[in-house]
Amino acid sequence: MTQPQRDRLAAAQAELLHALLGNGEPPAGFDPERLRVEARSLLNKRRGIVAMLRPDVVDGLGDRFRPLFEGYARAHPRRAGSRAREDAAAFAEWAVAQGELAPPKKRRWWRRAT
Partner 1 sequence: MVDKLGVGIGWRPEIDLTVEQLDVDFVEVVAENLHVGHLPESVLLLRERGVPVLPHAVSLSLGGAEPVDAGRVAHLGGLAEALGAPFVSDHVCFVRAGGLDSGHLMPLPRTREALDVLVANVKAAQADLPVPLALENVAALLEWPDGELTEGRFLAELVERTDCLLLVDVANLYANARNLGTDVGRFLDEIPLERLAYVHVAGGVEHQGVYHDTHAHAVLPEVLDVLKQLRDRIDPPGVLLERDDDYPADAELAGELAAIRAVLA
What phi and psi, each to the nearest 5 degrees, are found at residue 23? -115, 25
Q: Give the integer Cα–Cα distance in Å for 80 and 107.
A: 31
Nearer to partner 1, 44 or 98 (CB): 44
C-beta separation of 46 from 31 below 8 A: no
* Residue 87: CB minimum distance to partner 1, A: 8
Residue 13 engages partner 1 in binding (rule: CB under 8 A)? yes
Residue 55 engages partner 1 in binding (rule: CB under 8 A)? no
63: number of Cβ within 10 Å: 7
Binding site for partner 1 (CB under 8 A): 2, 5-10, 12-18, 20-22, 28-31, 34-35, 37-38, 41-42, 45-46, 48-49, 77-82, 84
